[in-house]
Amino acid sequence: MLLSLANAFIKRPVLTTVCSIVIVLLGTISMAMLPLDKLPEIAPKKVAVTANYIGADAKTTEDNVTTVLEREINGTEQVRWIDSFTDNTGNVSVNVTFPTEMNRNTAQVLVQNRVSQAQSTLPSVVNQAGIRTNTQSPSLTLVYGFYAENGPNGKPIYDKTFIYNYVDRYISNEMKGLPGVGSVGLFGGANYAMRIWLEPDKLAARGLTALDVVAIINEQNFEVGIGRIGQQPAPPEQQFEFPLRVAGRFTNVEEAENMVVKVGEDGTLIRIGDVGRAELGMENYDTLVDVDGQPGVAFLIYQLPGSNALETAQAAKDKMAQLEPSFPPGLKVIVGLDNTLFVEEQHGPLGIFFRWFNRCFEFIRGGYRRFVTFLTHIKIIVMAIFIGGLIATWWIYTTMPSGFIPAEDQGYFFALTEAPPGVSLNYTYAIDQQTTKIVQNMENADQVLDHVINLTGFSFEGRNANKSLTFIKLRPWEERPGPQKSAFGIIQNLNRSFAQQISGARVFAANAPPVDGLSSFEGSEIFIQDRQLKGMNALIDNTQRVIAAANKRPEIGRTFTTFTFNSPLITMSIDREKAKAQNVDIQDILRTLQTYIGSNFVNQFVFEGRLYRVYAQAEAEDRDNPEDIGRLYVRSRDGTMVQLSNLVTPERTTYPPILTRFKTYPAIKLIASPAPGYSSGQVIKVMEEVANEVLQPGFGYEWTNTAAEEKTSGGAAPIVFGLAFVMVFLVLAAQYESYVDPTIILLTVPLAILGALGAIWLRVAFVQTAPFNPGNGIWPILNNDMYAQVALVMLIGLAAKNAILIVEFANQARALGMTIAQAAISAAEERLRPILMTAVSSLVGFAPLLSASSVGAVSRWSLGTAIFGGLALATVLSLVLVPILYIVIKNFEKYILEGGKKPPKPPGKSRRKSKKTFVTPVEKEEEVTPIFKASSQND
């Protein structure tokens, strides 16, 4: 053959062994160097821009920071989409998404350049706090929980401030330097800060305001370099040089409290300690963390894209084991989430038993020959069945529900809490404690539960007092067999318990996303956009319309949003005329409110060799009621103390506490999950139908994350399959120097699709949804997902190899003088044994995928069912159809394409007589005993 290399390797055995050894060595080296992860790197690259407008609400922050950043970033080269989250703590996160193939460092530079252009138009306090542009690491690899043991008084021996900063100072830096670690996150506290807690009444009694204290701190708490005594240029006789250092910044609480704010008329010194107090506290108190019910902090480690997940996790575990002996006594750490356990588990035993096959083969072979001979007499019926199979293949492919990547039991999941709008962090923390107790006391908790970590005040969209996120880590898969102990069964049971036992908030469990970095949790995500800026009320109304209509559709299991539509908000109206009449600067009013209520980032101080921030704010009891605002004082230009109740008026209203935007438009994200028996592809189709029906003019929708990737890749599967099919055809055409033989070989391949998708349909209809199946309604329903599509591409080669064996031997038989029919029957009979042996051995090898359990079970079901069904049907049909297709197409080639003459009709006057004298192809074939020669195609 033209492309055959077999002769060169047969004649040169040393060359053959050298090539084999080189291939093995290259494979071994590549295997060690390639990154190991759950899935290939298919998540798009993301760059996050974060900023903080201290003390500002979500709407103020969005207007002054978020939109400014988005306008500059929009239009950056190769950006796919931009989404942002702005919360009531003044935090802004603008996420810029690039294609998967984009270099992450290049993407960061492109975004950073745009952010630099926006900084001049941002509020000064935002620039002072700092704007960070970092590449996002999508893979959450490990979550550690740190907590302190209880002391004799029954309380933890260390508070969260100490634990947080110990982890930040002595563990975070160690982990950041490990290979494969992309970034780390720390929750449950904040960095040390010198908090200046002011008492407004004491200040007013001494004729002072909060701005006076801020000014004094700025005046006295700073450092400069003051040079050296004797530094050059110096007199020639100068014989010494001493560096100078001045203690400009305070370093502890006592020094801060002793700072003089004012000198009285009688010379009395009024210090910060006289009008408030200083405390070594934290920058913010917006989140709380519980570790298995104990106050603590959560430490998150994200994997660097492209790195080896197992090596990264192991390096982190080794480093933690190295650091743990040096922990302060009583400080404990647990692994609250380990995403690499999903990668480590492996299964797949094989068993091949052929003794029965060898004993029965001759009987099978004879029966098969007679059956094929019979089929040669009903070729028209066989071809009609073949055409029907092609039609059935087209029908099942177009009607089979599609999907992307199936959900899996990854050994952990989340619980999300949404308390009523306007509640405090303490309220949500109490709900979280209730959630933890329900999880710890659920059925079979001792067999399935490992650890629980609550992040109160945190959500995937931003921080707010009524939000919470809980990590729930399960025991290893082998310790919790069965559907009820899987993540899917546990989630269902917990959601029922949450609904029945928690009345003060909405708590629900959700599975982890199938692809890290594509979504926050399982489900199809869609943004409803206000494209003509109709206003928040109109956006909320249209979103609620979509939710209501979607939840009425049978294909949708649940459509929900974590967006809080309305939360209590107090708008402060300043009477500017009164302010001017009393000689009060508007700026002083605003800065006074900012300092007392929202906190004022003044400057920095040094503590244990590091710079930390200084904040001034009113004591908690002086800002726990809206009426406290009116009792605050501001100084007029003539020195008079003016109470704010004379200048500002509070007005109660409502507004969302966290604002989201998508592609620069105000937007609200919905999450839609399929009902039992339906797929994510059907969810996407239904949600688009609903949105098109109910959205008013000026509103639109956009898919994001997993759903967006599924939409993008939805049309790629037929293209990939078609290209693979064409390439195989062209290679075979070059091999055979013919376009006819590859046509015969590949005509049976489409029917393998029928077997693959048919097997999935049968499994869903008669196994997954069967009443006797204990997993009915628990496990995800299989569909034409990415794993099934991979199986379809694999089936091109698996199905074609059987036809290659028959066609190759048939061509050799014809070269020895057999007729087309004789050659087809003889080749089918001769190749029956290798076809059956290779098919059965392959099917036995794939069989464990059908009944896979533990980690990755759903993916293996999808892949294994498609391959097993497709290969089984392709094997049967190749043994039945290929001989007939060979006869029909070769006769067509001979008598139509090549212009050959048709064979003469057998003698006889009647059809009955002709049947008596008819010589079967088998009888004629017996006259010739072909001697087949070896061919590389037989392998």
Q: How is 107-126 classified by DSSP, letter by letter?
A: HHHHHHHHHHHHGGGS-HHH
The pLDDT value recorded for residue 12 is: 85
The number of helices, as runs of H, and strands, as runs of E, in the chain is 33, 30
Structure-token match 């392998």, residue found = 939
Q: Is 144 exposed, middle or buried (0-12, 13-18, 19+ CB in 10 A)?
A: buried
Phi, psi of 843 (to 5 degrees): -65, -40
Give every residue of the chain whose pLDDT is below 50, as ranges. 1-3, 346, 349-352, 903-939
Q: Is the Cα torsion angle 206, 208, 214, 217 positive or negative in sign? A: negative
User: What single-letter amino acid sits at 124?
Assistant: S
Class for the domain spanning 36-136: alpha beta
Q: What element of type H or E holds 470?
A: strand 462-474
The pLDDT value recorded for residue 3 is: 46
Nearest to 289 by CA among 297, 277, 279: 297
Would you tell me how many other CB atoms lie within 10 Å of the CB of residue 496? 10
Report the distance separating Cα 160 and Cα 282, nearest Å.
Answer: 10
The pLDDT value recorded for residue 919 is: 38
- Quote the Cα angle for 93-95-99, to 5°: 170
Would you tell me how many other CB atoms lie within 10 Å of the CB of residue 851? 10
The pLDDT value recorded for residue 932 is: 46
Lookup: tokens for 328: 């302060």
Non-local (6+) Cβ contacts of 381 within 8 A are: none
The pLDDT value recorded for residue 647 is: 93
SS3 state of residue 375: helix
Report the distance separating Cα 41 and Cα 56, nearest Å.
Answer: 38
Report the distance separating Cα 17 and Cα 204, nearest Å.
Answer: 93
Q: CB–CB of 94/119 below 8 Å?
A: no
SS3 state of residue 788: helix
768: which DSSP letter? I
Which residues pair with residue 290 across a beta bridge? 295, 454
The pLDDT value recorded for residue 330 is: 94
Report the distance separating Cα 465 and Cα 431, nearest Å.
Answer: 12
pTM above 0.75, yes or no: yes
Nearest to 141 by CA among 337, 364, 327: 337
Q: CB–CB of 735/2 below 8 Å?
A: yes
Domain ranges of the chain: 36-136, 358-399+738-898
Question: Residues 389-407: pLDDT tens digits?
Answer: 999 999 999 999 888 889 8
Report the distance separating Cα 320 and Cα 175, nearest Å.
Answer: 8
CATH architecture assigned to 358-399+738-898: Up-down Bundle (1.20)
First to last CA, the chain: 14
Q: CB–CB of 698/532 below 8 Å?
A: yes
- Quote the Cα angle for 626-631-635, to 5°: 130
Which residues pair with residue 673 across a beta bridge? 558
The pLDDT value recorded for residue 146 is: 96
